[in-house]
Amino acid sequence: MPRFSANIDMLFTELPFLERFEAAAAHGFTEVEILNPHIHDREAMRAERDRHGLGITLINMPIPRMADGDRGAAVDPAATERFLEEAERTLDLARFLEAPRVHVLAGRAEPGDAAAEAAFVEHVQRAAAMAADAGVRLMLEPINTRDIPGYFLRTVDQALRILDRVGRDNVFLQFDAYHVQVMSGDIVHRFRAAFDRIGHVQIANPPDRHEPGRGEIDFAFFFEQVDALGYDGRVSLEYRPATTTSESLAWGAPWGLGAGAG
């Protein structure tokens, strides 16, 4: 049975951020995922985590200039200093929050840009050495170019090729069924083919990034296949509820999710 995490930057947004930990626990979650922990007080996050008996599945590296189109510095050959500072800061926060995974955002570049790919590989290798000392795994996630035009890492095949070049045993594929479906489709086949490299799974339903049951993916079948392969990691719910978060979790009742489940 899948073990679900709640992405509390996208779920429970009816509430102030720190109150979402309690809401996640009350809806049956035992772990949460945080896209942008860097803008919140670390002591308060850890206190809420502990108060409600939650783990933190994953955090992202920061995107300090998102409003200006920034989507990460990893592919920028001229941004090594920035990238390493952000990696060090994120790994320090991951240790503090006891988060075992960090998502390294690639940034914007064309996939055929050899200099960008070389910078990405080198930066991830250097961050992987830092992460090994912290006991943290790094995740590389293909993201669709409909939502983020120009994003460098955009397909599973490209990500697997880059993982081969990186060649580090603490760097993995973050498989987001929503992004994979938008870019390539055939998500079960792609999940099976990449299974040995997958370190984390996220879900949402195209076309509008809603919950299971509100889109084109048959998630009951997808979860069956994930279970059949023996995936024992977390499946994070990174969707935008079509109505309220509580209503959007009705599909999860067979897996112990929903209001009053905690």
Residues 27-71: tens digit of each pLDDT: 999 999 999 999 999 999 999 999 999 999 999 999 766 555 668
Taking the C-alpha atoms of residue 9 and residue 181, their distance in angstroms, rounded to an integer, is 22
Residue 247 annotated as catalytic: no
Which tens digit of pLDDT belongs to each residue from 134-162?
Answer: 999 999 999 999 999 999 999 999 999 99
Contact (Cβ atoms closer than 8 angstroms) between residue 32 and residue 7 = yes
Average pLDDT, the chain: 96
Among residues 122, 141, 211, 247, the one annotated as catalytic is 141
Among residues 31, 33, 86, 238, the one annotated as catalytic is 238
Residues with Cβ within 8 Å of 207's Cβ and at least 6 positions away in sequence, in order, are 182, 215, 216
Q: Which two tokens stand for residue 258?
A: 């929903």
CA distances from 187 to 190, 225, 238 (A): 5, 10, 17
pLDDT at 238 over 60: yes
Residue 141 annotated as catalytic: yes
Beta bridge partners of 4: 235
pLDDT at 64: 62
Taking the C-alpha atoms of residue 242 and residue 247, their distance in angstroms, rounded to an integer, is 9
Domain coordinates in residue numbering, the chain:
3-255
Radius of gyration of the chain (CA): 17
CATH number of the domain at 3-255, out of 2.60.120.10, 3.40.50.360, 3.60.21.10, 3.20.20.150?
Answer: 3.20.20.150
CA distances from 4 to 28, 32, 163, 236, 251 (A): 9, 9, 25, 6, 13
pLDDT at 1: 82
* Prediction pTM value: 0.96
